[in-house]
């Protein structure tokens, strides 16, 4: 069994802001809600991404950035048996919510708070590491990749879900017209399906990209406003700018009977 002693998160100004944003799952849930409300693929992303895991000969799994535990909650009926599962997040609030969400279905899972760049596990002690939509938050990704590769056994795999450059392109274009393009950032430029592939290739011998087929048809402006307000940067905008965004969204929705929005999400699978 791998060692599961929690490691203290590193402190810096960026990490402090991130901890405030993700002290609980409220902001995360606003993003998930947008996709759940308007997504055209009714097969859950969390079910799909679980389909991509090869857990046939796996005895020890680590999840980094568990959030409120959606990955395990939505796949509770097919959790691997006789397997050690460590569910972790840098946010104590997220770990607490994940544990509460899974409840009795958590089985033998261990929950802990840790830093992805300083993993408290022995070298070669894990078969799989899952990082769901979180690696773009890490400032020192090369350090995280080195740690992940270190703790993986021979034949182990990293599964990292993230977005591609096309993700929410139409909504970002509308927001860019209102806010100015310099205010609208895309996490895919930090670690996405395209940029993440190149970054992982520097640390892993084999990297594969698999995309989840989906799109959105957005017919209401308020869930989009909530989505933008779930980011710390957008919450700093003057209310007048947000009102302008709401008006522009309503205008486009009325003119086009909704907004066809790209949903570009998937998983990177890396092997040492």
Residue 82: which CATH number? 3.40.50.150
Dihedral of CA atoms 53, 112, 25, 140 in degrees, nearest 10, equals: -80
Domain tally, the chain? 1
Dihedral sign from CA coordinates of 235, 236, 240, 244:
negative
d(CA 88, CA 111): 6
The DSSP H or E segment spanning 215 is strand 215-218
Q: Would you say residue 2 lies in a domain?
A: no
Cα 142 to chain centroid, rounded: 18
d(CA 4, CA 112): 8
pLDDT tens, residue by residue, 115-169: 999 999 999 999 999 999 999 999 999 999 999 999 999 999 999 999 999 999 9
> What is the model's pLDDT at position 27?
79
Could you list the residue range(s) of the whole structural domain that residue 152 is in?
Answer: 13-167+185-215+264-271
**pLDDT per position in the chain (272 positions), as tens?**
444 444 434 444 445 555 555 666 777 888 889 999 999 999 999 999 999 999 988 999 999 999 999 999 999 888 888 889 999 999 999 999 999 888 776 666 899 999 999 999 999 999 999 999 999 999 999 999 999 999 999 999 999 999 999 999 999 999 989 987 666 667 899 999 999 999 999 999 999 999 999 999 999 999 999 998 887 777 777 889 899 999 999 999 999 999 999 999 999 999 99
Dihedral of CA atoms 129, 115, 85, 198 in degrees, nearest 10, equals: -10
> What is the model's pLDDT at position 10?
40
Structural contact between residues 112 and 89, judged by C-beta atoms closer than 8 angstroms: no
Q: Would you say residue 162 lies in a domain?
A: yes
CA-wise closest residue to 208 among 263, 266, 260, 147? 266
Dihedral sign from CA coordinates of 93, 95, 100, 102:
positive
The DSSP H or E segment spanning 112 is strand 110-113
> What is the model's pLDDT at position 28?
81
């Amino acid at each position: 069994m791998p060692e599961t002693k929690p490691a203290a998160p590193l402190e810096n100004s960026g990490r402090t802001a991130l901890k405030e944003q993700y002290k609980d799952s409220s902001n995360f849930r606003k993003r998930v809600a947008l996709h759940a409300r308007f997504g055209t693929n009714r097969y859950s992303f969390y079910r799909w991404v679980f389909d991509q895991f090869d857990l046939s000969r796996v005895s020890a799994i680590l999840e980094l950035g568990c959030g409120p535990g959606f990955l395990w909650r939505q796949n509770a009926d097919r959790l691997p048996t006789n397997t050690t599962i460590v569910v972790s997040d840098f946010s104590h609030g997220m770990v607490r919510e994940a544990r509460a969400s899974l409840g009795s279905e958590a089985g033998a899972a261990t929950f802990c708070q840790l830093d992805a760049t300083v993993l408290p596990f022995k070298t070669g002690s894990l078969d799989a590491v899952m990082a769901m939509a979180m690696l773009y938050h890490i400032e020192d990704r090369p350090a995280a990749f080195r740690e992940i590769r270190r703790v993986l056994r021979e034949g182990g795999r990293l599964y990292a879900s993230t977005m591609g450059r096309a993700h929410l392109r139409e909504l970002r274009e509308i927001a860019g017209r209102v806010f100015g393009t310099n205010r609208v950032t895309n996490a895919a430029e930090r670690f996405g399906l395209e940029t993440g592939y190149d970054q992982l290739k520097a640390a892993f011998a084999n990297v594969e990209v698999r995309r989840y087929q989906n799109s959105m048809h957005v017919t209401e402006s308020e869930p989009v406003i909530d989505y933008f307000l779930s980011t710390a940067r957008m919450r700093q905008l003057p209310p007048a700018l947000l009102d302008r965004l709401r008006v522009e969204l309503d205008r486009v929705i009325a003119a086009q009977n909704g907004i066809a929005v790209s949903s570009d999400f998937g998983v990177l699978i890396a092997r040492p």
